[in-house]
Structures are given as C-alpha cells and as structure tokens.
Amino acid sequence: MVGSLVNNGRWRLPPARSEEQLQLQTFLTTIDLTEEEDNYEWELGGAQTSRDSTGEVYTYLRPTLPKVSWEAVVWTKRGVPRHNFHLWLVVQDRIPTRDKLLRWRLQVDPLCLLCNGANESRDHLYKDCPFSFDLWTQLATRLRLQPLRSCGGTLNQMIALLKDKPLTRMKSSGSNLVSPPGSIHSYTWA
C-alpha cells in the first residue's frame, strides 16, 4: 500500500531506476495523504472501470494494425494450436531455417536437410525444394488444388479453401486430414 511508503508524514521512496519512476515519485510527493483506508481504482484510457481486465489492458496497450488477408487461414478454431502458431511464423518468414541460423552466426550446414541441393530458406522449403514440393503435390492433388511454386499463391489457395467448406472437400477426397489449413501445412512440411 502507498501508505507504507510514508513515515511520520514524510515519503520514504526507494531510489528511482528510470525517468518514468522518477516522474511517478515526483508526482506522489505532491499528494497529501489522509488517514482513510487505501482502496484500488482502475482507469483505462481516461475512463474508470470497476474491475481490472488483463484482456482490456492488452487491447489498450497493443498497437492497432489492419487485418491481414491470411488471418482466417492461420487462426482457425478447429486447428491444432501448435500448427496454427507454426503457420503464423511461416507466413511472416520467421521460422528458424538454416539461412537465418547462419545470419545469427550459428555454425550449421546451409544446405536443405530434405534435398541437400540448395540452401535452406523459407522460400526454398515451401516453394523450390523438390522433396517437399513432391509431397505437397500429392496432398494438393487429393484436395483438388493446383500445386503452385509460390508461397503467396498457395496462401491464396488456402484462403479460398476455407471459403469452400474445406472439411467437405477433404472428406470427399478420401483424406483423413479433417483439419484446417494450418494442419495441412504442418502435416506436409513441419
């Protein structure tokens, strides 16, 4: 409680460790304390609220960005969270492929582990690698999709797949992969 930082009418504040903390402490010393009990008050964006909500604070603090076209593909309700998260990293080219590991100065072989024929990168794994493209071709054929050597093109196919009742399409294709695009991707490459 704030009152515990006052002794005999004088503030006993710990040394400030940042400019913000210094400003807060300077402000505190302008407040006249009373003998009343301390109580909490929550204020968010200038408006008082009756309760604290981590979700509301998170929404308030985070930057507001425009929605991306692939949002529905990555964050599907029936998806396996691990697969969804991995696809989210893939779409943003944030998976730790070997080209990135080398940039982080890690001592690794630059060649693709699957084909050993070219340097490993997100685009190689999802577009150019003959091994993974052959795998994707087999799965895409069962889904009646045209296998593309294009990350953006494949992503657009996934977006269209969601609008095209994917479960119906996958069941009729004889596949037992009754999962959304995130899992299609993960079963194929991850």
Binding segment toward Zn ion, per CB under 5 A, in 49-57, 91-99, 114-122, 152-160 = 114-122
Nearer to Zn ion, 6 or 115 (CB): 115
CA 98, CA 121: separation in Å to the nearest integer? Answer: 6
Q: From the list 91, 114, 155, 170, which residue makes contact with Zn ion (rule: CB under 5 A)?
A: 114
Q: From the list 5, 102, 115, 148, which residue makes contact with Zn ion (rule: CB under 5 A)?
A: 115
CA 103, CA 101: separation in Å to the nearest integer? Answer: 5
Nearest 5°: CA angle at 70, between 65 and 73? 130
Query: What part of residues 143-162 is at the interface with Zn ion (CB under 5 A)?
Result: none
Query: What part of residues 125-144 is at the interface with Zn ion (CB under 5 A)?
Result: 129
* Cβ–Cβ under 8 Å, residues 120 and 131: no
Query: What part of residues 35-94 is at the interface with Zn ion (CB under 5 A)?
Result: none
H-helix or E-strand spanning residue 48: strand 47-49
Binding segment toward Zn ion, per CB under 5 A, in 48-56, 65-73, 109-117, 175-183 = 109-117
Nearest 5°: CA angle at 134, between 129 and 140? 115
By CB under 5 A, residue 112 contacts Zn ion: yes
Binding-site ranges for Zn ion (CB under 5 A): 112, 114-115, 129
